[in-house]
C-alpha cells in the first residue's frame, strides 16, 4: 500500500461560542485505505466532516489534498477538490429523478444553459451500474427504499470522481444484507485507489472494513494507528478514558420507595418489553446509541405516542395515559431532546413559556393572572439562574443553555413527581451544562425521581445511580453505579453485551 497520504489535516482548531469543537487536530487519509474516525457523541467527528465538506471553515490549521494547500469556502469547493460525503440522513430531493439527484449542482449542460438530459441519464446509468444498483436513472427518488437511496448517494459521490469519500454512519439505517452490499462497494472504491473516511459507532463494522483508525475525545486527537494492531477494548478506553467521577456534582441521596414501575412496555416498531422501576430520589440513566428507542419509550410514557402493550404504575396505581395532558396531571414531566421544536415556543417570552404547562394554576375565575405568572417565573427563573434582560424576553433571543433552563422551569412549575430529561445538555455551553447537572442532583435530593437519557457517557456515569442500556429497542443490560464501566456500557450499547448475554 502507498504510504503517502492523499489528504492531511494539520493543527485544525474550530471554536463555537462557548464550545471548543476541535483543538489542534491532525489526521491523514491514504489512497486505497479506509480510515475509521472514532469518538463519542460530541467528540468532534461531525465538525471534521463539516470542515472537510466545506460547510465550516476552521479557525486555524491547514488542509492539504494531494500535497496542495486547500481552503474550502463552500461545499462546491470541496467537491471540486475531490471530497464528497455520504451523510447519516440522506439529504436529497424526493420528487426528482435519480439522475437529477446524482448531478444536482453540476448537471451536464448543452449550449444555452440547457440541461443535457441524454448525457446526464446515460452517465447516471453508468454510475448506478458501477454500484450494482437494481433501478434505473430516471426513477423518482421517492420510489426507492433507504438502502437504494444510499446507493444514489454513493453514485453522487462517484459522479464528482471524488478521490476522498466520507461515510458518516452509512449503515445506521441499513439491514445486515444491505450492509454487506455496502462493504462490497467500499472494497471496490478501495481497489480504485480512493481514500475513505468511515464513521461508525459499531465496532464489528469498523474491524471488518477499516485499515486505520483515528480517535478523538473532547475535540482533541488522542490516538491513531493500524486496525490490525488494536483491539476493541483498547479503542473504547481511548474514546471515553478520562477521570469523570470528580467532575460531576453527584450527591449522596437516600433512595426511597418505588415511584414508577414500568412492565413490558412495547410498541410494534420502536421498543419492546421495556421494564424498569424508578425510585424516589433516584436518577435513573438510559444510555444507548442514537435510534436505540430511548426517546420513543419515554414519549410513550409521557402520552405523546401510544404503547401497544405494557403496564405503567405510579405509586402502585395503574396509569392510563392517552395524552400529554394526562401525563402532566399524573405528575410526569418530560424535557424533550429537540429543544427548539418540542420544548419551547420561541416567539413567546420567558414568562409565557414558563407557565405554558401549568396555566390552570394561574387563573382566577378563568382569567389569567399576570401577577401570579410573574411570581412563579421570577422564582423558578431565579432558582435556575436564567440569564436574561427581562422576563418578557423572547426565547429566540436567549442562548441554548438559557432556553433549556426555561424549559426545565416550565416543567418544575407543574410540580412533577417524575422528571424525564432527554439529552438535557445536548448542544449547550459548558457553564449551563454544569448548572443543569447541579440542579438535577438538587431535585433528586428533594425527592423527585429523575430519568436521564443521555448519549454522553461521562454525563450518564457521573450523574446516574443506575444505568439502563438500550439496544435496538430493548433494555439489554443494567448497571449499578458501582459496577458500571465505560467499556461494559459501550459494549452493551453497540450490541456486544447482547450477544454475550444471549
Partner 1 sequence: MSGPSRYDVADRAPRTLIDFMLRWETILIGLLIAVVIGNTIISPYFLDIYNLSDATFNFSEKAIIALGMTLLILVRDIDLSVAAIIALASLAMGLAADAGAGTGLLIPIGLGVGAICGAFNGLLVARIGLPSIVVTIGTMSLFRGLAQVILGDQAITKYPAAFQTLGQGYLIKWPPIPYSFALFLVLAAIFTFVLHKTAFGRKLFAMGNNPIAAQFSGIPVNRIRFWLFVLTGLLAGVAAILLTARIGSTRPNIALGWELEVITAVILGGVSIAGGAGTIPGVVLAVFILGLATFGLSLVNVPGIVISVLLGLLLIVSIAMPIVVRRLLKGKPVV
In whole angstroms, how close is the CB of 371 to partner 1 at the nearest point? 10
List the grid coordinates of 135: 433501478
Determine whether 244 is exposed, middle or buried from the number of CB atoms within 10 Å of its CB (0-12, 13-18, 19+).
middle
Report which DSSP code applies to 343: I
Stretch that binds partner 1, among 87-95, 186-194, 280-288, 321-329 (CB under 8 A): 321-329
In whole angstroms, how close is the CB of 363 to partner 1 at the nearest point? 5
Q: Give the three-class secondary structure for 298.
A: helix
Residue 287 near residue 470 (C-beta atoms within 8 A): yes
Determine whether 237 is exposed, middle or buried from the number of CB atoms within 10 Å of its CB (0-12, 13-18, 19+).
middle
- In the shown chain, the binding pattern of residues 392 to 421 toward partner 1, with x for contact by CB under 8 A and - for none, equals xx----------------x-----------
Instruction: Please pick, from the candidates 311, 368, 430, 500, the single residue that binds partner 1 as defined by CB under 8 A.
Output: 368
* Residue 88 binds partner 1 (CB under 8 A): no
Stretch that binds partner 1, among 13-21, 255-263, 358-366, 480-488 (CB under 8 A): 358-366
Q: Which residues pair with 215 in a beta bridge?
A: 38, 223
Q: Which is nearer to partner 1, 81 or 299 (CB)?
A: 299
Q: Which is nearer to partner 1, 84 or 403 (CB)?
A: 403
- In the shown chain, the binding pattern of residues 275 to 314 toward partner 1, with x for contact by CB under 8 A and - for none, equals ---------------------------x-x----------
Instruction: Please pick, from the candidates 390, 482, 501, 502, the single residue that binds partner 1 as defined by CB under 8 A.
Output: 390
Q: Which is nearer to partner 1, 144 or 412 (CB)?
A: 412
In whole angstroms, how close is the CB of 218 to partner 1 at the nearest point? 25
Q: Which is nearer to partner 1, 60 or 325 (CB)?
A: 325
The 10 Å CB-count burial string (b at 16+, else e) for 255-264 is eeebbbbbee
Strands (E), 126-202: 164-168, 195-199
> What's the rounded Cα separation, in Å, for the pair 186 and 206?
12
Q: Which is nearer to partner 1, 147 or 356 (CB)?
A: 356
86: Cβ contacts below 8 Å, ≥ 6 apart: 150, 153, 154, 157, 165, 166, 167, 168, 170
Report which DSSP code applies to 81: T
Instruction: Please pick, from the candidates 76, 129, 387, 499, the single residue that binds partner 1 as defined by CB under 8 A.
Output: 387
> What's the rounded Cα separation, in Å, for the pair 436 and 452?
12
Q: Which is nearer to partner 1, 240 or 436 (CB)?
A: 436
3-state SS record for 190-252? HHCCCEEEEECCCHHHHHHHCCEEEEEECCEEEEEEEHHHCCHHHHHHHHHCCCCCCCCCCCC
Give the phi and the psi of residue 323 in degrees, each rounded to 5.
Answer: -155, 165
* Residue 391 binds partner 1 (CB under 8 A): yes
In whole angstroms, how close is the CB of 291 to partner 1 at the nearest point? 20
Dihedral angle of Cα 172, 27, 241, 203, to the nearest 10 degrees: 30
Q: Beta strand 7-16 with 60-65: parallel, antiparallel or unpaired?
A: antiparallel
List the grid coordinates of 75: 461545499
Q: Which is nearer to partner 1, 82 or 416 (CB)?
A: 416
Q: Which is nearer to partner 1, 161 or 338 (CB)?
A: 338
Instruction: Please pick, from the candidates 341, 482, 501, 502, the single residue that binds partner 1 as defined by CB under 8 A.
Output: 341
275: Cβ contacts below 8 Å, ≥ 6 apart: 262, 263, 264, 265, 475
* Residue 444 binds partner 1 (CB under 8 A): no
* Residue 18 binds partner 1 (CB under 8 A): no
* Residue 385 binds partner 1 (CB under 8 A): yes
Q: For partner 1, how many residues bind (rule: CB under 8 A)?
A: 46
* Residue 344 binds partner 1 (CB under 8 A): yes
DSSP 20-43: EEEEEEEEEE-TT-EEEEE--TTS
* Residue 195 binds partner 1 (CB under 8 A): no
Stretch that binds partner 1, among 62-70, 163-171, 310-318, 345-353 (CB under 8 A): 345-353
Q: Which is nearer to partner 1, 284 or 298 (CB)?
A: 298
In whole angstroms, how close is the CB of 341 to partner 1 at the nearest point? 5
Residues of this chain that bind partner 1 (CB under 8 A): 302, 304, 323-325, 327-328, 334, 336, 341-348, 352, 356-357, 359-360, 362-363, 366-368, 374, 378, 381-383, 385-393, 410, 435, 438-439, 442
Amino acid at each position: 500500500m502507498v504510504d503517502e497520504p492523499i489528504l492531511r489535516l494539520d493543527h485544525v482548531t474550530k471554536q463555537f461560542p462557548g464550545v471548543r469543537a476541535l483543538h489542534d487536530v491532525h489526521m491523514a487519509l491514504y489512497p486505497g485505505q479506509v480510515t475509521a474516525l472514532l469518538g463519542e457523541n460530541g467528540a468532534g467527528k461531525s465538525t471534521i466532516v463539516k470542515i472537510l465538506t466545506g460547510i465550516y471553515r476552521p479557525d486555524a490549521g491547514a488542509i492539504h489534498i494531494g500535497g496542495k494547500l486547500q481552503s474550502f469556502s463552500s461545499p462546491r469547493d470541496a467537491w471540486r477538490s475531490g471530497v464528497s460525503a455520504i451523510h447519516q440522513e440522506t439529504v436529497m430531493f424526493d420528487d426528482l429523478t435519480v439522475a437529477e439527484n446524482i448531478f444536482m449542482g453540476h448537471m451536464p449542460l448543452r449550449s444555452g444553459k440547457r440541461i443535457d438530459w441524454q448525457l446526464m441519464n446515460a452517465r447516471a446509468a453508468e454510475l448506478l451500474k458501477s454500484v450494482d444498483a437494481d433501478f434505473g436513472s430516471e426513477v423518482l427518488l421517492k420510489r426507492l427504499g433507504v438502502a437504494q437511496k444510499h446507493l444514489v448517494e454513493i453514485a453522487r459521490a462517484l459522479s464528482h470522481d471524488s478521490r476522498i469519500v466520507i461515510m458518516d454512519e452509512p449503515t445506521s439505517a441499513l439491514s445486515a444484507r444491505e450492509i454487506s452490499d455496502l462493504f462490497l462497494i467500499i472494497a471496490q472504491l478501495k481497489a480504485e485507489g480512493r481514500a475513505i473516511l468511515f464513521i461508525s459507532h459499531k465496532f464489528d463494522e469498523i474491524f471488518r472494513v477499516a485499515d486505520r483508525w483515528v480517535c478523538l475525545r473532547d475535540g482533541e486527537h488522542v490516538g491513531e494507528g493500524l486496525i490490525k494492531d488494536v483491539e476493541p477494548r483498547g479503542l473504547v478506553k481511548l474514546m471515553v478514558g478520562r477521570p469523570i467521577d470528580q467532575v460531576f456534582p453527584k450527591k449522596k441521596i437516600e433512595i426511597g420507595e418505588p415511584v414508577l414501575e414500568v412492565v413490558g412496555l412495547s410498541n410494534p416498531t420502536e421498543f419492546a418489553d421495556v421494564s424498569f422501576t424508578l425510585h424516589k430520589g433516584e436518577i435513573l440513566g438510559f444510555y444507548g446509541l442514537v435510534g436505540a428507542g430511548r426517546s420513543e419509550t419515554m414519549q410513550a410514557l409521557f402520552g405523546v405516542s401510544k404503547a401497544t402493550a405494557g403496564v405503567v404504575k405510579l405509586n402502585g396505581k395503574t396509569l392510563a395515559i392517552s395524552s400529554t395532558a394526562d401525563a402532566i396531571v399524573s405528575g410526569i414531566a418530560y424535557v424533550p431532546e429537540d429543544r427548539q421544536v418540542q420544548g419551547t415556543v420561541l416567539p413567546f417570552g420567558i414568562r409565557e413559556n414558563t407557565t405554558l404547562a401549568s396555566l390552570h394554576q394561574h387563573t382566577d375565575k378563568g382569567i389569567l393572572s399576570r401577577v401570579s405568572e410573574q411570581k412563579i417565573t421570577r422564582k423558578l427563573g431565579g432558582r435556575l439562574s436564567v440569564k436574561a434582560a427581562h422576563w418578557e424576553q423572547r426565547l429566540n433571543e436567549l442562548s441554548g443553555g438559557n432556553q433549556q433552563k426555561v424549559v426545565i422551569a416550565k416543567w418544575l412549575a407543574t410540580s412533577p413527581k417524575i422528571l424525564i430529561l432527554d439529552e438535557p445538555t445536548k448542544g449547550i455551553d459548558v457553564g449551563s451544562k454544569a448548572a443543569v447537572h447541579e440542579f438535577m442532583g438538587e431535585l433528586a435530593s428533594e425527592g423527585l425521581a429523575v430519568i436521564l437519557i443521555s448519549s454522553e457517557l461521562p454525563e450518564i456515569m457521573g450523574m446516574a445511580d443506575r444505568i439502563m442500556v438500550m439496544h435496538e429497542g430493548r433494555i439489554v443490560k443494567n448497571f449499578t453505579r458501582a459496577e458500571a464501566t465505560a467499556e461494559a456500557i459501550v459494549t452493551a450499547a453497540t450490541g456486544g453485551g447482547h450477544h454475550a448475554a444471549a
